Structure 1
Amino acid sequence: MAHFVTRMIQTTRDEESQQLMTVWPDIIHDVTKAIENFNIPDVAKWMEKVLQYNVPGGKKIRGLGLIYAYKLLAPNDQLTEENIRLARILAWCVELTQTYFLMMDDIEDQSLFRRGQLCWYQYNDLNLAAINDTFMLQNSVFYLIRKHFKGKDCYVNLLEIFQDITMKSTMGQSLELLCSNFGKKPNLDIFTMDRYNSIIEYKTAYYTYVFPITAAMHLAGIKDQEMFKEAKTISLELGCFFQVQDDYVDLFGKFDVCGKDGTDIQEGKCTWFVVVALQRVTPEQRKILEECYGDSDLEKIQHVKQLYNDLNLLDAYFKYEEETYNLIKVHIKQISSGLPHNLFLDILENLCHRVS
């Protein structure tokens, strides 16, 4: 049954992704035209290149999630062609936000690939000049919100959620950078599960599910604070689950599927795997981690992976995945504020099979 539901979701997702792409040329036009109005055509031309290279190639999980949520939450008489188009514009605002987070993250981590191509800062040896492009993308988001939503009841709420999520995500990124000691040898003493949960809540969970679902709720005109509270609680659980899965993908994912190389070990990231490893190691095994974790030497990376294997972390992960899936499913079924259970159940089913 779960596989049938996932295929059904995927079909809907593919159809909506195509519809979302029909709006993409309008997004480019709006942003570049705004720049041209300042009589700086060279910047407009450059911005079009930034947009085309970085934004539309992802899976669009967050943008599509926003549209799906809006269609479920909005009253039928609100689901006009124009309002659905506005939802798609807002979805692109979410995707633009996601993109500038990733572009900055790639610079900080000195990553090589993103979405199957060179990271933007690596493109034509842009290096740190790419930082300005992330600011351009961020400001494009607020321009688009102002252009399309100013005067609507949801306008201020949308501005606040975009600003709030940006703040929370950058705090999460800061916590992760502090934990990995800014690319130097990490201090494994602070790699606790509490620290890890704080990182993934702020760095990933808020902007992956709380962000698009809350934005959709504002667009749909929902005012009930209990609905927002329950949506946040479940969305955070889903977002943390999503990040633990990403830690798995970093270790075991294939480049042709995920579009990037796994680098968590050499970057000294605080991940689910290293935290659980530290809970299980003998003193001798801990010395291996202290010597090898956060080092780009291929042999040391292999030592860490072998240690993970010796500690049966893959079995532990699959147990965690099953238990977390079942627990979130129970929590979704306990929602009592009036939010549609299938909004979150469909997300959970899709999550369950995204790494299989």
Structure 2
Amino acid sequence: MSNVCLFLIYVSVITLYLCARPCQGDSRCSKGVQQKGKMLSDAQLFDLEFEKLVSELTEQDFTDPVLTDALNRLKEVLRYNAPGGKRNRGLSVIGSLRELVSPSELPPDEVHRALLVGWCIELLQAFFLVADDIMDASLTRRGQPCWYKKEGIGLDAINDSFLLEGAIYRLLRRHCRGQPYYVHLLELFMETSFQTELGQALDLMTAPPHKVQSHCEIQDCILFLLSPCGCSHAGIENETEHNNAKTILLEMGEFFQIQDDYLDCYGDPAVTGKIGTDIQDNKCSWLVVSALGIMTSEQRAELEACYGRSDAESVERVKALYDTLEMPIRYHQHEEESYRRLQKLIQLHANNLPHAVFLNFAKKIYKRNK
């Protein structure tokens, strides 16, 4: 459920970029903001913005005491599920905007809105992850128990995921309603959600117990649907630039998902913050799809006997099979090829946008281990 956010980041940045107003020499327009005589980085500003939005969502707008318990629950849901990740998605909004708009033309209120939109992307990700962890019966997320696994939470986490989603639109309405890109952002978030949910539906439908041979053949269909067509409505005036950026980000998003598949099996849970379950869940991952294309009939029989089973012995037999097929070596070769391909695509297609916007995305995911 992750790679669609690359598209969301890009279009969010472009909508802000197209509509940002010159700040007419405001001395605060710089890379960072001064507070009490100290220059704060974007990461520090981003952290401060989170505390503001938590307060806004749970304290400022409501006076009815009947809602007190529900608002306290929302505060707990926000603080447990939204922070704690790498924050690459949210920080990429303000980081990319700074590449597109010179400091003298970027007013403080646009910086604030970029930080806010960045957190809305993080909230969208949190919404997806809370629900996804329930569907996948995952155990840990970001180095702590999945929200639904916490004592006293259980399937109430379903409604908590709805609260995270609802918070997005409350924040966008409050802070962006007066902006010319407001409708574009709303459409983008909603269409991205719908496309992601279609992809998740296919992911679930193509993982029936103990059936490896058939369901892995439509992996490409899943990856295709994860591209949110709502980007076409996001206020990008130059269709050629939009399509060029989409070409780059499709490659990047696909590789990001392949990395997730690899780390689910080979990542260190102490680093990734989660225990992989793709083998147990019979997921159509890059590892199993690639392995099916090179294994012998005997190895395929071994895979079909073990894949999609939850007992430790079956999982270890699948991993041993991957090792025999040298899947880690094949993955790292694919990583190098994909990164070189991305660099070429950026050189070819990012003609009228700063290459740094795309290179910064690529560097964040290249050789990542969590």
Normalising by structure 2, what TM-score? Answer: 0.84
* Partner AA of 2:256 in structure 1: F
* Partner AA of 2:220 in structure 1: N
Q: Which residue is equivalent to 2:46?
A: 20
Shift of 1:158: 0.4
Q: Which residue is equivalent to 1:198?
A: 221
Q: Which residue is equivalent to 2:17?
A: none
Provide the C-alpha distance between the structure 2 equivalents of 1:53 and 1:256, rounded to a whole number of angstroms. 18
Q: Which residue is equivalent to 1:168?
A: 195
Q: Which residue is equivalent to 1:264?
A: 278
1:66 to 93, 97, 104: 93
Provide the C-alpha distance between the structure 1 equivalents of 2:68 and 2:184, rounded to a whole number of angstroms. 33
Counterparts of 1:238-253 in structure 2 under 5 Å? 238-253=252-267
Q: Does 1:121 align with 2:148?
A: yes
* Partner AA of 2:120 in structure 1: C
Q: Which residue is equivalent to 1:140?
A: 167
Shift of 1:59: 0.8
* Partner AA of 1:156 in structure 2: V
12-21 or 307-316, larger mean C-alpha shift? 12-21
Structure 2 residue matching 1:36: 3-state secondary structure: coil
Q: Does 1:33 align with 2:33?
A: no
Counterparts of 1:268-279 in structure 2 under 5 Å? 268-279=282-293
Shift of 1:264: 0.9
Counterparts of 1:1-356 in structure 2 under 5 Å? 15-33=41-59, 36-37=62-63, 39=65, 40-74=67-101, 76-181=103-208, 184-192=209-217, 195-203=218-226, 223-335=237-349, 337-355=351-369
Q: 1:272 to 1:336 in 2, by over 3 A?
A: closer
CA contact (8 A) 1:63 1:94 kept: yes
CA contact (8 A) 1:35 1:43 kept: no
Provide the C-alpha distance between the structure 2 equivalents of 1:70 and 1:171, rounded to a whole number of angstroms. 30
Provide the C-alpha distance between the structure 2 equivalents of 1:330 and 1:64, rounded to a whole number of angstroms. 25
Provide the C-alpha distance between the structure 2 equivalents of 1:350 and 1:63, rounded to a whole number of angstroms. 13
Provide the C-alpha distance between the structure 2 equivalents of 1:336 and 1:235, rounded to a whole number of angstroms. 11
* Partner AA of 1:191 in structure 2: C
Q: 1:332 to 1:298 in 2, by over 3 A?
A: same
Shift of 1:76: 4.3
Shift of 1:186: 3.1
* Partner AA of 1:186 in structure 2: K
Provide the C-alpha distance between the structure 2 equivalents of 1:82 and 1:151, rounded to a whole number of angstroms. 12
Provide the C-alpha distance between the structure 1 equivalents of 2:180 and 2:110, rounded to a whole number of angstroms. 13
CA contact (8 A) 2:99 2:356 kept: no
Shift of 1:343: 1.2
Provide the C-alpha distance between the structure 2 equivalents of 1:148 and 1:191, rounded to a whole number of angstroms. 43
RMSD: 2.4
Structure 1 residue matching 2:150: 3-state secondary structure: helix
Question: What per-residue deviation string (whole Å, max 9, x for no partner) do you get for residues 97-145 of structure 1?
Answer: 0000000000000111000111111111421111001111111100100
Structure 2 residue matching 1:267: 3-state secondary structure: coil
Question: What per-residue deviation string (whole Å, max 9, x for no partner) do you get for residues 31-88 of structure 1?
Answer: 1136624551111111101111111111112111122122222354441222101100
* Partner AA of 1:314 in structure 2: P
Structure 2 alignment gaps of length 5 or more: 1-30, 33-39
Provide the C-alpha distance between the structure 1 equivalents of 2:72 and 2:59, rounded to a whole number of angstroms. 10
Provide the C-alpha distance between the structure 2 equivalents of 1:135 and 1:48, rounded to a whole number of angstroms. 14
* Partner AA of 1:168 in structure 2: Q
346-355 or 239-248, larger mean C-alpha shift? 346-355
Q: 1:172 to 1:190 in 2, by over 3 A?
A: same
Shift of 1:228: 2.1
Percent of aligned pairs with the same amino acid: 37
